[in-house]
Amino acid sequence: GGIITQTPKFLIGQEGQKLTLKCQQNFNHDTMYWYRQDSGKGLRLIYYSITENDLQKGDLSEGYDASREKKSSFSLTVTSAQKNEMAVFLCASSIVFQNTLYFGAGTRLSVL
Amino acid sequence: QQQVRQSPQSLTVWEGETAILNCSYEDSTFDYFPWYWQFPRESPALLIAIRPVSNKKEDGRFTIFFNKREKKLSLHITDSQPGDSATYFCAASASSGSWQLIFGSGTQLTVMP
């Protein structure tokens, strides 16, 4: 077994602030993902990384940067937080593409 | 543009009934369709998945029916239990192209005792 750890669990930011979310996995999975979950809109892919030195944009990449520091870690930066933004950011990993995604517990973002 | 659509948005059934959750997609290159479920205050987890080599995948009380021609699939939950109450997400991806796993907006299922 393994676990995906996301930090922080809760993040409160100010409008215009740059915010960084971190994700660590000990599954030894190659592929990692960042999804955003808004109420009633399912999960939307922000960035993913197929292998350690890879970075791919998802459909929702505008306004975000990502970094795959090493195989086990994948961070996401909100480049400029939007006022009243509220969402849950979910990190996930899988052995290879089209395999089971394992999700972390999420980071809940609120922007004042 | 919503590539994966789910209906209904919410569904309530009585314990013991069969719940039917629907999903449709647009991209004919999609060749992998997992269903994830998410309980309140928890993260999504894989429930069952199908590849188009088959038009049916069964796992206990959960069955996926797949219609490639119509680009539709459905998840049937027989003998529904209150513990099945969750949000169910249909997802799709293609083994060629961008490799993205695209999720639908989910169906919130409530099973009444």
**Contact assignment for A44 to B103 by CB distance below 8 Å:** yes
Per-residue pLDDT, B82:
97
Residue A61 amino acid letter: S
Domain that includes residue A41, residue range: 4-111
- A13: contact with B, CB 8 A cutoff: no
**Contact assignment for B95 to A98 by CB distance below 8 Å:** yes
> Cα-flanking dihedrals φ and ψ of residue A11, to 5°?
-140, 120
Confidence of residue B99 (pLDDT cuts 50, 70, 90): low
pLDDT tens profile A27-71: 999 999 999 999 877 899 999 998 888 999 998 999 999 999 899
Per-residue pLDDT, A96:
75
Alpha-carbon gap, residue B77 to B13, rounded angstroms: 11
How do A10-13 and A107-111 pair as beta strands? parallel
Terminal C-alpha separation, chain B: 38
Q: Provide residues of B within 8 Å CB-CB of chain A.
A: 6, 9, 32, 34, 36, 42-46, 49, 89, 93, 95, 98-106
pLDDT over 80 (residue B2): no
Q: Where are the domains of chain B?
A: 4-112
Substitution target in B26, B27, B43 with the highest count of A β-carbons within 10 Å is B43
pLDDT over 90 (residue B64): yes
Summarize the confidence of residues B54-78 as an average pLDDT: 97
Give the count of domains, chain A: 1
Alpha-carbon gap, residue B75 to B78, rounded angstroms: 10
Tell me the sheet residues that pair with A95.
Answer: none
Per-residue pLDDT, B98:
62
> Looking at domain B4-112, which CATH architecture does it have?
Sandwich (2.60)
Alpha-carbon gap, residue B13 to A52, rounded angstroms: 45
Q: How many CB pairs under 8 A join A and B?
A: 53
